[in-house]
Structure 1
Amino acid sequence: MVTIEINGIKVEAEQGQMLIEAADKAGIAIPRFCYHKNLSIAANCRMCLVEVEKAPKPIPACATPVTDGMVVNTRSTKALAAQKAVMEFLLINHPLDCPVCDQGGECDLQDFSIGYGGDSSQYAELKRVVRDKDIGPLISTELTRCIHCTRCVRFGQEIAGMRELGATGRGEWMEIGTYIEKSVNSELSGNIIDLCPVGALTSKVSRFNYRVWELSSNDSIGAHDCVGSNSNVQVKSGEIKRVIGRENENINDQWISDRDRYSFEGLASDERLGKPLIKKDGEWQEVSWDDALQFAVNGLKAVSDKTQIGSICSPSVTTEEMYLLQKMMRGIGCDNIDHRLRQTDFSGDAQDPAFLGLGMAVADIAKQQAALLIGSNIRKEQPILGHQLRQASLKGAQLSFVNSVRYDFIFAVAQDFIIAPKDFFNELKSLAKAALDKSSADAPDGLAALVASAKVSEAHQACIEQLASAENSIVMLGTIAQSMPDYAALRMLASYIAEATHSTLSYLTPGANTSAAYLTGVLPTASETQGLNTQAMLADGLKAYVLYGVESDYDIENPAQVHNALSKADFVVLMNAYVTDAIKENADVILPISAITEASGTLINVAGNWQSFAAVSKAYEQSKPGWKVLRVMGNLFDIDGFDYQSSEEIINELKASNAVKDDQSETSKASNQVIWACPADSSADSTGLQRIAELPIYRVDAVTRRATALNLTEDAQVEFAKVNSQLASQLKLDDKQTVTAKQGDNTVEITLSIDDSIADNCVYLPAGINAAASLCGGFDTIELISTSNTTNVAE
């Protein structure tokens, strides 16, 4: 530590710390445009010029490290003259269009011009004009306003990992643009809007829809992945106008994904359900809430054997809703309740920890020195975790992947094992054997025999060596791996690899609230009388179903199986914020529950952080918060303990039962380790083509699927199948050709794309898309049949 003096005030600062950081810590304001604490130092705006004793001229505070005894003055005559000169220079070409600028009222240039600007200009020439560029459906440009701070350029290179924006020209002719007029496609791109200190980059989604002083700001939580990014939702007249990042260094720094930023558009979809519906004599009727609730309760009461009722819950609804749903179902005598919509292998249920999680804080991902990710496209599944992993990579971390697609990651990959899903078990056997050879500990029972025939390559050995030699390392099971038919066996081997290399076993869970589903008991194994899991409920064909927050065509692993089970059921209750013709086909009563931004609640992220939030927007028509609907249904069933008056009462009851204090449950490195039980050899001998059913980034839930702007992005163009060129040649198929994809008796016509990032003998056909809504399991065998017509993918 060193001692410096700023404006006559003694300040303690760290040796080597920049002067502007020391001033900020001491609460001394220094104007700035280009400086940002999470970006590299550019020192190109010069607005932070200050006077330093013995320095011949003012120097930039953002690029000047402190030294012991330094004397600084930020408000001296020399400093103020320099700052005012810079402000005059910046205003030479800046347009005077504040009345029509979306940044008006929160513009740094406006604010600083009041303190450092003059009342007249020496510049009489015409101002420059810069042609605006179309950089995609999310961000609008007004580049004449640009002051060349380059925050957006540095963000793309340093945080997003994609240098999509850059500068050409010099001086006043410098322009910010994209490479050969390309769009900006990063999944974190919207953060450059928050970073821009002027109105050069604004939201295309909410352009000219508000003035900033008309907005009310509300802290909230991102509800589209397991990270729980902190955000601020801004509302006008009860309608969400924009979402911006909110700083939380333990979770998301101050960044949010485009999915969290723009998905609110889906709340205004034409498919929102505004009134309760019941089906009578095959016709849908709008009814009152009282009638609809009584109809739903009577229908479930009519099922004499309550073990013939199944409840399937979304992993993204609030903790309060999960808790009351399982409490209601068990109150009527039914333990068939589950949230695992895409999992098909439940043989390892007994090995589950208290909840699936990272085993560490989100921010600790950036501190790992080595990682092995199994079945994960982390960049698109959980963009903020992808960012954290990139920060680890920039510090030298060695990252390895076992996947069926060679994904375009934003960081260096040490080893990339690209194989068909059916070969994952063999690949993990090879890694386990490499770990066994390196470990000095005795082999667990049966492991040596299991891996005896496994072939270990130099890449396998290198991966294990990197994990074992790292001080902090992690083995992650991604959401793709958790959907595979041999998930339990994969997890067992992954657990051994983690243990043998002294790594943390982690889970990247689907949905926004999977951890809460475990803690609240939305599992068939959560009571002594074990019920049926999702797969068993649908395979057995029960008499009644309660679907909560679930769209059956898109959210569950095998849509064909779901349709078959629901169509044969006597009674189906659906509680959702949306309604479609496909939903109406199999339901008997549909209850409109509020979207997550329209009700208070709590989400528990993958690191165990309990994060509560209030309603931020008005409810759609007659929709009601889900916890209130469940509370009334519990009363109609005459179940004790359904007298809650607020969501806070519910969450406090749950916290008390889980001994949670200070809004955060405890996680430990050992909590995710699996007790060893040698898995059966699940090596597949199938020679048919295998489908790869990854869930695309903008198809993860009902709100995101209906977000207009997000679905215009490049990442949203997923209505096609992919095979590599070798398989295409073998099947005599051409790029952009329309083919028939067949699983069992179900077929669909879809455009084919040839992509050599796909593993051999595999067909990449995503889940959650329209084309897959009638197909079978995501990792089942699949056929491709040529048709005569061709379709241009771009069209």
Structure 2
Amino acid sequence: MSAQPTQNTAPNLVNIEVDGKPIQVPKGSMIIEATDRAGVPIPRFCYHRKLPIAASCRQCLVEVEMGGRPMPKPQPACATPVAEGMKVLTRSDKALHAQRNVMEFLLINHPLDCPICDQGGECELQDMALGYGRSVSRFTERKRTVADENIGPLVATEMTRCIHCTRCVRFISEIAGTYELGDMDRGDRHVIGTYIGKNIESELSGNIIDVCPVGALTDKPFQFKARAWELVAKPSIGYHDALGSNLWLHTRRGEVLRTVPRDNEAVNECWLSDRDRYSHQGMYAADRIGAPEVKRNGQWQATTWEDALQVAGDALKKAPGSELGILLHPATSNEEGDLLMRLARGLGSAHVDHRLRQLDFADNAVARPFALPVAEIEQIRTALLIGSDLRHEMPLLNHRLHQATKKGAKVYAVNPARFDFNHKLAGESIVAPQALVDALLALASAAVAVGVTAPAALAEAIASAQSDQGDRDTIAALKSGKAVVILGEAAVTHPQASWLRAIARFIADATGAGYDELPVGANAVGLARLGVVPGNGGLDAQAMLAQPRKSYLLYGVEPPHDFADGGAALKALRGADQVVAFSAYSSAALREVADVILPIALLPEIDATLVNVDGLAQGVGAGAKAPGEARQGWKVLRALGGALQLTGFEFDDLAGLRDGITERAAAPRSGLAIRTAVTGLTRLATWPIYRSDAVLRRATALNAHPLNRAPAVRLNAAEAGRHGLAVGDRVRAADALLPLVIDAAVPDGAVWIEAAQDLIVTLPPYGAAITLGKA
């Protein structure tokens, strides 16, 4: 008998019966979703709650009755929608017989690799074979084999193990949006591959390892390192962008061997970007420092903590507080940031800053939480990207935007280059860095044209701008419904960022859109909340380099690559009387400029709190062991503050430290940078996705990835011709000699030379004029 409807059924629910138990489920649900809600297990391989339904494995076959009549054949639970009065039998003889037969067919060609397969111990096929497989195979024919394909440095392939569930294909096409995998041929020739034998270049490619139910796709850097049961899972968060993706560190004896996603629907769902997944390799680089070192008579010597702290304290006291500059990385934790502020106050210095990659401080801008939360980006109808290569800046935020476009959202962009998006743009304006403000003013002019009053500070500039039909279409789309304006890193780090920020906020206010500004640094929002910025009369990060100090304290900073102007940073640090460095690494540049290096642990090795783009404070515990004598940063700062006998360092433990933390948010200003005309070529300097911090720059697998491009001068063909350059030429830019790459993504008037490369540290910063010559 079919399930009988109840009198109080909500209009969006239907009544069904699963194994004799009546339940109510949402209309439109598939049977497998209903049984998952009810806690009834159904075997499956191709089904994944985040992927489109394929119904290709047939492992989830169940018996279904409608109107008291059983359907003639078992139905796939993943592709059969529920209906009022439906009766589902998951453990009937008919259902179990079908499930066991499918399992037998799946195992026909599967190799007996379990003892040497990296998936062993956490394999869905092993689990299902135990529950639904035969103890002895009846298949006596020869098993098929499939040639493996090299798809890059991150994912290892063993395609003979593939059961053709197509989860990886659907992930790459529907989630990553890059269409780099497909299934080809039929029957026993059916294979999964890249069509043309190429590396997978998606920034989310590691997720195909997680969705693969067998050992066909595995973690290449982790290959043959350990068994699943040897690993201890420690909760942590990603620290290479401000999303704060939740993840698990899989450790053995304190060493991180693998990183996998930890579900959090509001942040990263069940996905993880490749840089969060594979960056742990950088934790064990050859130049990781495990003991304090001091420079004596020009020679570096390992020493004790007592001696190193004494040397550091003496160095910091040599110059007055007005001559001390404190520069910290924007991924520094709340606890460390607060202690650095206490140290600065105790030493009488107002020169403290974490905004190392900003060039424009006219409005004293700091990172703020998103107005439109990350989880709501999928629901927008229109987005305007300003100066943003979102795929590389925050990959999983871009994933949310990509999902929105699949639902019909329109995305417009104003960018200094034609960045490679994985979704179509409804409109774009690509201009050289020096023209970015003018392009945005034209958009603002279109907003004013429909009756919005411009703010006084922008009124004259907007009045002189000319909008076109594309600008008017963009404004109309933003006004039509739920919309967001996203200011990306190429805008935040622009030399006229105050203008871009003010205009973007005006456009958002005028159209009723949310305003989301991407923080530069994993804890930029948290440090801004704590007021880790210059005090009264203090110099910002750029001013500390332009007006060199006699002493510097560097915290988690790797010169010159972490600075907007690497050349200016090296010049200022080389000229300082003393430089105290708290660092996990001892790079050649740091050893050149520093006088003492105090080894500190990295985020996976410390107890810390970081604040993400939604303003969510996420606390983590130490998941791995720091090497040698390296210590958690807050402990080193406490010891240094105590040695200097400063107030605020009397606490005994982390709880005592956190009790003393108070928020001192910086007050914004309404200033705008002076606009100066730049003639000729201007440099576009973006930070490569896998070179944006010291850990990533040492992650060997990511460094071998195609997205980690070699240093080059990138010009469009017309601009190269105007400068007498052609393909194959080597180009001299300042002191650097680089190959020329003809790139249609670069607009006229611009040369794209990526930052954080050893060969280009002396080049002018982003937005500055640059002269090129044929070598």
TM-score in terms of structure 1 length: 0.93
2:730 to 738, 756, 760: 738
Matched residue, 1:458? 469
Matched residue, 1:770? 758
Matched residue, 2:737? 749
1:330 to 328, 340, 345: 345
Matched residue, 1:170? 186
Matches of 2:464 and 2:333, distance apart in 1: 47
Matched residue, 2:169? 153
1:171 Cα deviation (Å)? 2.5
1:218 to 222, 234, 239: 234
1:536 Cα deviation (Å)? 1.0
Query: Relative to 1, partners in 2 of residues 1:269 and 1:680: Cα closer, same or farther, differing over 3 Å?
Result: closer
Q: Indicate yes or no: 2:708 matched with 1:759.
A: no
Matched residue, 1:366? 378
Matched residue, 1:668? none
Q: What amino acid is the match of 2:755?
A: A
Matched residue, 1:588? 595
1:205 aligns to what SS in structure 2? coil
Q: Indicate yes or no: 2:37 matched with 1:25.
A: yes
CA contact (8 A) 1:251 1:361 kept: no
Matches of 2:660 and 2:671, distance apart in 1: 39
Matches of 1:778 and 1:444, distance apart in 2: 28
1:70 to 86, 93, 108: 86
1:701 to 690, 693, 699: 693
Matched residue, 1:545? 552
1:780 Cα deviation (Å)? 1.1
Query: Relative to 1, partners in 2 of residues 1:547 and 1:16: Cα closer, same or farther, differing over 3 Å?
Result: same
Matched residue, 2:516? 506
Q: Indicate yes or no: 2:212 matched with 1:196.
A: yes
Matches of 1:446 and 1:183, distance apart in 2: 49
Query: Which residues of 2 match residues 642-681 of structure 1 at below 5 A?
Result: 642-654=649-661, 657-658=662-663, 679=672
1:519 to 529, 536, 539: 529
Matched residue, 2:57? 45
Query: Which residues of 2 match residues 49-128 of structure 1 at below 5 A?
Result: 49-53=61-65, 54-128=70-144
1:681 Cα deviation (Å)? 7.3
1:485 to 492, 495, 513: 495
Q: What amino acid is the match of 1:320?
A: E
Q: Indicate yes or no: 2:460 matched with 1:449.
A: yes
1:735 Cα deviation (Å)? 1.6
Alignment RMSD (CA, Å): 1.7
Matched residue, 2:572? 565
Matched residue, 1:712? 704
Matches of 2:458 and 2:558, distance apart in 1: 41
Post-superposition Cα deviations, 1:581-602, rounded to whole Å, max 9, x if no partner, equal 2111111111110111111111
CA contact (8 A) 1:310 1:545 kept: yes
CA contact (8 A) 1:273 1:579 kept: yes
Matched residue, 1:554? 561
1:686 Cα deviation (Å)? 2.5
Matches of 2:542 and 2:548, distance apart in 1: 10
Q: What amino acid is the match of 1:122?
A: R
Matches of 2:663 and 2:771, distance apart in 1: 48
CA contact (8 A) 1:696 1:718 kept: no
CA contact (8 A) 1:602 1:651 kept: no
Query: Relative to 1, partners in 2 of residues 1:217 and 1:293: Cα closer, same or farther, differing over 3 Å?
Result: same
2:385 aligns to what SS in structure 1? strand
Q: What amino acid is the match of 2:470?
A: A
Matched residue, 1:791? none
Post-superposition Cα deviations, 1:337-393, rounded to whole Å, max 9, x if no partner, equal 0000111111101xx47x423223211111121111111100011100110111111
1:114 Cα deviation (Å)? 0.9
Matches of 1:522 and 1:38, distance apart in 2: 39
CA contact (8 A) 1:450 1:681 kept: no
Matched residue, 1:689? 681
TM-score in terms of structure 2 length: 0.96
**Structure 2: stretches of 5+ with no match in the other structure:** 1-12
Q: Indicate yes or no: 2:620 matched with 1:613.
A: yes
Query: Relative to 1, partners in 2 of residues 1:645 and 1:152: Cα closer, same or farther, differing over 3 Å?
Result: farther
1:84 aligns to what SS in structure 2? helix
CA contact (8 A) 2:17 2:85 kept: yes
1:555 aligns to what SS in structure 2? coil
1:678 Cα deviation (Å)? 8.4
Structure 1 runs of 4+ off > 6 angstroms? none
CA contact (8 A) 2:167 2:211 kept: yes
CA contact (8 A) 2:683 2:764 kept: no
Post-superposition Cα deviations, 1:578-624, rounded to whole Å, max 9, x if no partner, equal 01221111111111101111111111111111111111111111111
1:531 to 531, 538, 550: 538
Query: Relative to 1, partners in 2 of residues 1:15 and 1:539: Cα closer, same or farther, differing over 3 Å?
Result: same
Q: Indicate yes or no: 2:414 matched with 1:391.
A: no
CA contact (8 A) 1:15 1:67 kept: yes
1:558 Cα deviation (Å)? 0.9
Q: What amino acid is the match of 2:738?
A: I
Q: What amino acid is the match of 1:520?
A: L
Matches of 2:652 and 2:630, distance apart in 1: 18
CA contact (8 A) 2:531 2:663 kept: no
Matches of 2:279 and 2:713, distance apart in 1: 25
Identical counterparts, % of pairs: 45
**Residue range with higher mean Cα deviation, 758-767 or 636-645:** 636-645
CA contact (8 A) 1:511 1:700 kept: no
2:251 to 227, 235, 250: 235
1:516 Cα deviation (Å)? 0.8
CA contact (8 A) 2:362 2:673 kept: no
1:763 aligns to what SS in structure 2? strand
Matched residue, 1:269? 285
CA contact (8 A) 1:553 1:774 kept: no
CA contact (8 A) 1:250 1:362 kept: yes
2:421 to 399, 406, 409: 409
CA contact (8 A) 1:15 1:66 kept: yes
1:738 Cα deviation (Å)? 1.3
Post-superposition Cα deviations, 1:207-245, rounded to whole Å, max 9, x if no partner, equal 001011000011110110111011111011211111111
Q: What amino acid is the match of 2:87?
A: V
Matches of 1:678 and 1:263, distance apart in 2: 38
Matched residue, 2:5? none
Matched residue, 1:781? 769
Query: Which residues of 2 match residues 222-371 of structure 1 at below 5 A?
Result: 222-303=238-319, 305-349=320-364, 352=365, 355-371=367-383
Query: Relative to 1, partners in 2 of residues 1:242 and 1:680: Cα closer, same or farther, differing over 3 Å?
Result: closer
CA contact (8 A) 2:362 2:671 kept: no
Matches of 2:457 and 2:277, distance apart in 1: 49
Matches of 2:342 and 2:469, distance apart in 1: 52
Matches of 2:514 and 2:216, distance apart in 1: 44
